[in-house]
Amino acid sequence: MANNGENPSPDVGGKTVKLKADDGEIFEVEEAVAMELQTVKSFFDDDGVSYDTVVPLLNVSSTALAKVIQYCRRAVELRAKSGDDEGANEKAREEREGLEAELVREESDEGIKELILAANYLNIKDMLSFLCRAVGDRIKNKSVEYVRRFFVLENDFSPEEEERTRNEVAWAFEGVDAD
């Protein structure tokens, strides 16, 4: 996975965009990849903003940004591969799922949360979606207490409130509604 501050230079002669992480590190990224980040896209959609402008991403660490860029680069490549052919689409989808699995497998719980914050701030829908699913997987079938510790949250229910909520919730079925 990405080393801190890895900044591969684009090998195509196309336009590039400069992104600045919260610690000041600059990442130069191909335009197509940068536009995956809707926040960046909106930044340039404003009239009069030249592509030379460095985009300040104050809420994203360089570690997270490097990973985001790496993922988006691969995602753009894979999307280019899939087309009308059902077989190629299937293959591209599998590869993308493999990419996602690889990304989350190596992340600590803290790391995933940071990536979620980054993907949310940068507004990358697909990435946010699979990251949230990954977190969901990590808290599935865990106790309430475990989930609190995972997210470092305190229980602010009074015992009575908690009891009441528990009882209310008892009306729902245990299983997932198949629909």
Partner 1 sequence: MGQSTSTAVISSRRENNQSHRSKAKSTTLISPMHSDDVEDYDWIPDGGLDYISELPDECLACIFQSLGSGDRKRCSLVCKRWLQIEGQSRHRLSLNAQSDLLPKIPSLFSRFDAVTKLALKCDRRSASIGDDALNLISLKCRNLMRLKLRACRELTDAGMEVFAKNCKSLKKLSCGSCTFGAKGMNAVLDNCSALEELSVKRLRGITDGATAEPIGPGVAASSLKTICLKELYNGHCFGPVIIGAKNLRTLKLFRCSGDWDKLLRVMTDRASSLVEIHLERIQVSDLGLVAISSCLDLEILHLVKTPECTNVGLVSLAERCRLLRKLHIDGWKANRIGDEGLIAVAKGCPNLQELVLIGVNPTKPSLESLASNCKNLERLALCGSDTVGDVEISCIAAKCVALKKLCIKSCPVSDQGLEALAGGCPNLVKVKLKKCRGVTPEGADWLRATRESLAVNLDTGELEHQDASASDGGAQENAVEFPPPMPSQVAAAASIASSSSSRSSSLKSRLGLLTGRGLVACTLRRWSSGNGSARGS
Residues found near partner 1 in the complex (CB under 8 A): 1, 4, 22-23, 58-59, 61, 63, 106-108, 110-111, 113-114, 116-117, 120, 128-129, 132-133, 135-137, 139-157, 159, 161-163, 165-166, 168-169, 171-177, 179
Q: Positive or negative CA dihedral for 100, 115, 12, 14?
A: positive
Distance CA 4, CA 14 (A): 25
Q: Find residue 17's DSSP bridge partners.
A: 29
- For the bound state, the minimum distance from the C-beta of residue 122 to partner 1, rounded and expressed in Å, comes to 13
- In the bound state with partner 1, the residue whose beta carbon lies nearer, of 32 and 135, is 135
To 10 degrees, the CA torsion angle through 79, 47, 125, 11?
40
DSSP state of 20: E
Kindly report the backbone phi and psi dihedral angles of residue 16, in degrees, each rounded to the nearest multiple of 5, phi listed first. Answer: -125, 165
C-beta closer to partner 1: residue 30 or 130:
130
Minimum distance of partner 1 from residue 113's CB (angstroms): 6
The first and second tokens of residue 93, run together, are 């989808």
Q: How far is the CB of 108 from partner 1 (least distance, A)?
A: 6
Cα 2 off chain centre by: 15
The nearest distance, CB 11 to partner 1, in angstroms, is: 26
Which residue, 30 or 107, has its beta carbon nearer to partner 1?
107
Distance between CA atoms of 70 and 103, rounded to whole angstroms?
10
How near is the Cβ of 30 to partner 1 at its closest, in Å? 25
Q: Which is nearer to partner 1, 81 or 166 (CB)?
A: 166
129 vs 157: CA distance, rounded Å: 30
CB-wise, 27 or 30, nearer to partner 1? 27
